[in-house]
Amino acid sequence: MATCDTCGNTYDKTFTITKGGETKTFDSFECAVHAMAPTCAHCGCRVLGHGVEAGEQIYCCAHCARESGHEQVADRA
């Protein structure tokens, strides 16, 4: 049994995710999200989908990108 890197739970159904050469062990997707998902540069929520990249930042949506000064970002083409 392995131990979750986020919550410390020892569990027989853990899984690993490798990102940028670093491998972490998790007992749930919730713990994986808390540890590895980027946060929106405007509102701070976890970006679970593709998000929006503007400049050097990632945002959860076009609204947050616009609120941060990237007026050209839109939800629809």
**10-60 residue pLDDT tens:** 999 999 999 999 999 999 999 999 999 999 999 999 999 999 999 999 999
Query: What CA–CA distance (Å, rounded) separates 46 from 34?
Result: 8
Alpha helices in the chain (DSSP H): 29-36, 62-67
Instruction: Give the count of domains, the chain.
Output: 2
Question: Do 43 and 27 belong together in one domain?
Answer: no
Question: Do 8 and 29 belong together in one domain?
Answer: yes
Contact 64, 42 (CB under 8 A): yes
Contact 60, 45 (CB under 8 A): yes
User: How confident is residue 68, by pLDDT bands cut at 50, 70 and 90?
Assistant: very high
Tokens for 18, please give them. 């490798």
**Domain boundaries, position 62:** 38-77
Contact 27, 4 (CB under 8 A): yes
User: How confident is residue 75, by pLDDT bands cut at 50, 70 and 90?
Assistant: confident
Question: Do 10 and 28 belong together in one domain?
Answer: yes
**pTM for the full predicted model:** 0.80
What does the pLDDT read at residue 76?
84
